[in-house]
Amino acid sequence: MRSYTDLPRAVRLTIFLVVALFALSAIVLLVFRVARSGALPGTTIAGVDVGGLESEELRRLLRDVQDQRAKDELKVSPNDDDAVVTTTGEEMGYRIDVVASARSILERGRQGNPIAALADHLTSTFGTVTVEPIDRFDDEYFEAWLEDNAGELSTQPFAGGVEFDGSDVTPLYPTTGTVLTESELVTKSLSATRVAGDDLITVSTEDAEPPTTDADVDDLVATAETLVSGPVTLTRPNGNLTISPRELGAVAEVDVVEDGNDTRLELRLRPAALQRRVGGRAAQLETEPQDATFRLSGAAVEVVRSIEGFEFAPDQAARQILEVASKSNRTAVLKGQTVEPDFTTKDAKSLNITEQVSTFTTAHNCCEPRVTNIHVIADMVDGVVVEPGESFSLNDFVGPRTAANGFVGAPAIRDGEFVEEIGGGISQFATTFFNAIYFGGYDLLEYQAHSYYISRYPMGREATISSPAPDLAFLNDSDAGIYIDTSYTDTSITVTFYGNVRGEVESLTGEPHNFKKPERECRVNRDLGKREVVVVQTGYEGFDVEVTRIFPSGAEEEFFTRYQSGPTIVERRKC
Distance CA 35, CA 40 (A): 10
Amino acid at 546: E
For residues 503-519, give the mean pLDDT.
93
Confidence of residue 333 (pLDDT cuts 50, 70, 90): very high
Task: Please say whether the beta carbons of 249 and 168 come within 8 A.
Answer: no
Q: pLDDT tens digits for 145-184?
A: 998 998 888 888 999 999 999 889 999 999 999 988 999 9
Nearest 10 degrees: Cα torsion 141, 146, 152, 156:
-150
Show the domains of the chain with their CATH numbers.
Answer: 215-340 (3.10.20), 351-572 (no CATH)
Residue 348: pLDDT above 70? yes
Strands 239-243 and 252-259: unpaired
Output 322 or 101, whichever has higher pLDDT: 322
Give per-residue burial for 426-443: e unless 16+ CB within 10 Å, then b.
bbbbbbbbbbbbbbbbbe
SS3 268: strand
DSSP 8-state secondary structure symbol assigned to residue 154: -
Output 393 or 1, whichever has higher pLDDT: 393
Residue 35 confidence (pLDDT): 40
Kind and range of the H or E run holding 293: strand 293-297
Separation of CA 342 from chain center: 18
Distance CA 432, CA 494 (A): 7
SS3 232: strand
Question: How many beta carbons lie within 10 A of that of residue 24, not counting itself?
Answer: 10
Cα 484 to Cα 295, 301, 363, 479, 497: the distances in Å are: 11, 11, 19, 16, 5
Question: In DSSP terms, which residues pair with 169 in a beta bridge?
Answer: 164
For residues 271-282, give the mean pLDDT.
96
For residues 101-124, give the mean pLDDT.
74
SS3 192: helix
Rounded to 5 degrees, what are φ and ψ at 421?
Answer: -150, 160
Rounded to 5 degrees, what are φ and ψ at 69?
Answer: -65, -40
For residues 183-194, give the mean pLDDT.
90
Residue 23: pLDDT above 50? no
Distance CA 547, CA 560 (A): 6
Confidence of residue 83 (pLDDT cuts 50, 70, 90): confident
To 5 degrees, how large is the angle CA 94–CA 97–CA 98?
Answer: 115
Q: Any residues with CB less than 8 A from the CB of 202 and at least 6 apart, and which?
A: 77, 78, 79
Residue 119 confidence (pLDDT): 67
